[in-house]
Each structure stands twice: as structure tokens, then as C-alpha cells.
Chain A
Amino acid sequence: MSEILLQIDGKDVKATETMTVLEAARSAGIHIPTLCHHEKLEPYGGCRLCTVEVETRGRARLVAACLFPVQPDLIVRTHTPEVDKLRKTIIELLMAHAPDSFELLDLAQEYGADRNRFDQESSFCLLCGLCVRYCNEVKQKNAIAFVDCGAKREINFIPEIASQECRDCKECFPLCPTSYLQAAYFLTEALAFPHESNAAHALTKK
């Protein structure tokens, strides 16, 4: 595999042909924030937090580092005032949904984001798709899926599959940047199997 030389934040970085800018940066110890990226999963490009500036032949543009393939002589800037401002707005947009997510709180501090810039509309889910993609790509069970599109998009467990698979797996839970995934699971469980679920027990025990 041929080696590629590029420059990230002024540092010469060696990468292999198939790497993305994000992978190359990480291998060189340069941090780029991400929310929807996971090594085990196909690149997704949903959160856009990893947006960086790249320059080729004197032309600069903004790309998602988790998707953009390395190229010889690419110049990457992971922090510019423009990039940082975009990240700040993205964090603020997400905080309208999950104001207490630890990951977001840390990011908000780093980028000076205001968690109350947008009216709260707590859905708790950032729609990063980690859970959906993990279940699909790694477990190949598809117990959880996206429904609807645009601003109405949500995640949903498929009760028939979830009841068979999730109880002994729950591997996607720790991936979730908010606590929503667990909540959604227990809600599904409670609604679909009122007799078996823990949540239902807790509710009826009193």
C-alpha cells in the first residue's frame, strides 16, 4: 500500500492510501472532535462536528474529516475561526435536544457554546445513528431503526426483534452520547411486553 504524505495543522503526517483525514490525524495524535464516528462502523457523516478545512492546489474548502480521504500534499487545518464557529453552532443545535449530555457539555465548554441559544426541545436523541448502525453493521440484527425523515426523524426499537435480541446484548447502550437509548429501550419493553419488563414491574409494584 502506498504511503501518502500530507500536512495537518502544520505537521507532516504519513498516512496510507485508504485512510480518512480523521484517521490520519488520530494516528499523529491530532484531535478532531466527532460524535457519530466509531472505528467499528462505516463512516456516516451525520453530525458534521468533524468539519475541517482542507486545501488542495491552493483551493480551500470545508469537509467532514471522518469521510474525506487523504491525498498527497493535502493541507488540513483542524482549527480555524470559521471551523470553530461552525462546531459551536452545531453543538448548540444539539443541546436543544440533550442539554445534559456529558459529551455535549464537555464540547460546549471547549467551544464556548451556549446550551440555551435555542429553545429546549428535549428529545434526548442526537440522531447520531451509532445505535442503529451498530445493531445493523456489527450485530446484524436491525433491532433498532430510524423512522421518518427530516425534522421528524426518530429512532425506534422494533419490538418483535428487540424482544428476542436486546435483553442479552445491550451492546449499543454505552455508545449513546445521551441517556436516551436506554430510556427508549425500556419504554419499548414496557409497552410491548407489559408483563415481563422491569420497567413495568417497577411501575406496578408500588
Chain B
Amino acid sequence: MRSIEGKNPEPRPKYIRTSVSGIWDKPSNLNNVETWANVPLIINKGHAWYTGIGTEKSKGTKLVSVSGHVKNTAVVEVPMGTTLREIVFDICGGIPGDKKLKAVHFGGAMGGSIPENLLDTPLDFDALSSLGATMGAGGMLVLDEDTSMVQMTRTLLDFLSKESCGKCVPCREGVRQMLKVMDRLCENKGRPGDIELLEDLCEVSRKASLCSLGRTAYSPVLSTLRFFREEYEASIAP
């Protein structure tokens, strides 16, 4: 919205909802194309038809773009409530080379990783967020057994550090320092205390950042720390 107004593309430093005052101070409705695309269907077929699909709290269908270590990378439309396992194995044909699945990273760069043993989780807003992932734009990265979760997280953070606008300290500096720690860990040169340092940085970016980028940038780090902590521990130099 700031870009359309011809200003710097930085988040607005205001605690005002865009539905009250958005672009040029007029009430504005900002949504993904996917969200808008649902509207004509709901109008034409009725809300009962739409809410008949999905789970109790997550209705309708979702476009999931599946990529990574999977036989058929594709954008698939599935009803909410489909399990992640069904998406990976039944719809997308499983892992190439008959390797084992390690995890799926769901929700894009700001999402979270879900280990193989929780793969029967249904596609549902609440179910995903209870595991530290998010629905996000439906990005699903499939990771086979050879993936280093530390490496993967570093790649995501690197991407986020380029997406950060750099205006606020917790996000700009927090992500910068997290990335430095991840660099060390990727070379197996982690220092004692690095994991705790990451946790503190996650906390400051989550709680104190200006916009939702900073407030969710911690997510891949915290989620991989939650489910794959031993990989981090193994990257600390003795």
C-alpha cells in the first residue's frame, strides 16, 4: 500500500487497521488473489456448499504448491483436512529414489517444519499452527532423509534477511545475527551457547518487531530447534 502511495515500501508505523484507514487513509481491503478467487464461487454456489468442504474450523479448499524432494512438484488444490501424508505420497507420488521422508516445511520461509512422524496432520489452520507451522500461502517443501535441517533453515533465513526492509532493529539485526550463527553451525563451528543465543534472537524478533515479517521470521529457526535440536547440537564444535 505504501508503494502504491508512492512512498518507501516500509510498513506503516501505526496501530490502525487497514479496514479503518488504509491506502490514502481510506478503508482498504488487502487480500491474496487466492482469497478473492473464492468469492465468486461462494456467491454462486452459496455458503452452505462452501462450508461443506473442509474441517470444522478451516473451510473450503487450499492451493498447495509442493516442491522439493518429491516426484511430482505441482500446485494442487485439495480440500482442507487432507493430511500432509496424502499430499506427499498419494497426490505427488512420494520421494524420488525411494528415499525416506524427513520432514515437510510448510508455510513458506516464515513457516515451520513438521517431522515425518507427524505427517498425518491434516491441512488445517489450527493444526498447523499448533506445530509451529503456518498455512501461509500454501508453500510445502518436501525434505528427504539426506537434508540438513540446519542448512535448510540457513537458506530460509538468508532469504528473509533480503526480504526484511531493515527499518526496525529486532528484525534487521536479529535476522542478521541469527544468520551469522547459522553460518557457523553450517560449518560445524558452532560455539557453546549458540542455541540459547538463537532462542533469545527468536524471542526479540517475534515480540518486538514492527511488522509481521519480523514477527514471524523466527519461525523456521524455532520450529527446527523444536523438532531437530540434535542436529543443531551436533553442529557445535566440541
Contacts and interface: CB of A to CB of B under 8 A. Distances in A.
A90 B204 contact: yes
Given A46-B210, A62-B207, A93 B162 contact: no
Interface of chain A, main secondary structure = loop
Contact of B165 (A49, A51, A150): A150
Given A51-B208, A89-B200, A151 B13 contact: no
Nearest to B162: A150
A13 to B, nearest CB: 18
A153 B164 CA distance: 10
Nearest to B168: A46
Nearest to A20: B15
A127 to B, nearest CB: 7
Interface in B128-170: 161-170
A66 to B, nearest CB: 8
A149 B173 contact: no
B169 A151 contact: no
B167 A46 contact: yes
B170 A48 contact: yes
B160 to A, nearest CB: 8
A45 B210 contact: yes
A90 B170 CA distance: 7
B165 A46 contact: no
Interface in A86-110: 86, 89-90, 93-94, 96
Q: Which of B163, B166, B197 has the most CB of A within 10 A?
A: B166
Contact of B161 (A126, A127, A151): A151
A93 B163 contact: no
A131 interface: no
21 contacts: A42-B13, A46-B168, A48-B208, A48-B210, A64-B13, A64-B210, A69-B15, A82-B207, A86-B208, A90-B169, A90-B204, A94-B173, A96-B177, A117-B197, A126-B169, A149-B164, A149-B165, A150-B165, A151-B164, A151-B179, A153-B167
